[in-house]
Amino acid sequence: MVILRVLKACMLLAVMMPLVVKAELVVEVTQGVSEPTPVAVVPFKYSGSAALPEDVAQIIDKDLSRSGLFSTLPRSAMLGLPSVREQVFFRDWRMTQSDFLVIGRIEPVNANRVSITYELYDVLKEQNLMIQPLEADISQLRDAAHFMADKIYEKLTGNRGAFSTRIAYVTAEQFGNERSRYRLEMADWDGNRPRIIVESQEPIMSPSWSADGKKVAYVSFESGRPGIYVQYLASGKRERIQSFAGINGAPAWSPDGRQLAMVLSKDGNPEIYVLDITTSDLQRVTNHYGIDTEPSWAPDGRSIVFTSDRGGSPQIYRLDIASRQLSRLTYEGNYNAKASLTPDGRFLALIHRSSGSGNKFAVAVLDLKTDRLDILTETGLEESPTIAPNASVVLYATQEGTRGVLSAVSLDGFVRFRMPLRQGDVREPAWSPFLN
In this model, does residue 6 exceed pLDDT 70? no
Q: What pLDDT shows up at residue 3?
A: 41
pLDDT in tens, 150-163: 999 999 999 999 99
Banded pLDDT at 124 (limits 50, 70, 90): very high
CB 307 within 8 Å of CB 339: yes
Write the pLDDT tens digit of every residue in 331-343.
999 999 999 999 9
- How far is the C-alpha of 135 from the C-alpha of 46, rounded, in Å? 14
Report how far residue 91's alpha carbon sits from residue 68's, in angstroms, rounded to the nearest whole number. 26
For the chain, the distance separating the N- and C-terminal CA atoms, rounded to the nearest angstrom, is 43
Cα separation, 331 vs 98, whole angstroms? 46
Residue 19 pLDDT more than 50?
A: no
CA dist., res. 70 & res. 35, Å (int): 8
The C-alpha atoms of residue 61 and residue 72 are separated, in whole angstroms, by 6
> What is the pTM assigned to this prediction?
0.90
- Per-residue pLDDT tens digits for 273-317: 999 999 999 999 999 999 999 999 999 999 999 999 999 999 999
pLDDT at 26: 82
Q: What's 270's DSSP letter?
A: -
The average pLDDT across 163-180 equals 84
Residue 234: partners with Cβ closer than 8 Å, 6 or more residues away: 214
Helix/strand/coil (H, E, C) string of 122-152?
ECCCCEEEEEEEEEEEHHHHHHHHHHHHHHH
φ/ψ of 75, rounded to 5, equals -65, -30
What radius of gyration do the chain's Cα atoms show? Answer: 23
More confident residue, 393 or 173: 393
> For the ranges 5-9, 14-18, 356-360, which has the lowest average pLDDT?
14-18
pLDDT at 242: 81
Reply yes or no on whether the pLDDT at 16 is more than 60: no
Percentage with pLDDT > 90 across the chain: 81
- pLDDT value of position 13: 33
Spatial neighbors of 236 by CB under 8 A, at least 6 apart, are none
d(CA 91, CA 108): 32
State the average pLDDT over residues 407-422: 88
Q: How far is it, in rounded angstroms, from Cα 30 to Cα 132? A: 32
At 387, phi and psi to the nearest 5?
A: -100, 135
- Sheet containing 259-264, strands listed edge to edge, beginning at the edge strand earlier in sequence: 248-253, 259-264, 271-276, 282-284
The 10s digit of each residue's pLDDT in 141-151 is 999 999 999 99
Using the predicted structure, report yes or no on whether residue 348 has a pLDDT greater than 70: yes
Asked if 21 contacts 425 with a C-beta cutoff of 8 angstroms, the reply is no
Bridge-based pairing of strands 393-400 and 403-410 is: antiparallel
Which structural domains are found in the chain, ordered by start?
A: 2-25+163-431 (2.120.10.30), 35-157 (3.40.50.10070)
In this structure, of 105-114, 206-215, 354-363, the range with the lowest mean pLDDT score is 354-363
**Any residues with CB less than 8 A from the CB of 77 and at least 6 apart, and which?**
96
What are the pLDDT digits (tens) for 240-285?
Answer: 998 899 999 999 999 999 999 999 999 889 999 999 999 999 999 9
Q: Residue 172 pLDDT > 60, yes or no? A: yes
The residue among 286, 354, 345 whose CA lies nearest residue 317 is 286
Residue 7 has pLDDT above 60, yes or no: no
User: Packing angle between helix 56-66 and helix 141-157, nearest 10 degrees?
Assistant: 40
What dihedral do alpha carbons 255, 260, 262, 264 form, nearest 10°? -160
- Mean pLDDT rounded to a whole number for the chain: 91
Given a cut of 50, is residue 129 above it in pLDDT?
yes
Range 197-219 average pLDDT:
95
**Count of residues for the chain?**
436
The answer on pLDDT for 10 being more than 70 is no
Least confident of 8-12, 275-279, 379-383: 8-12
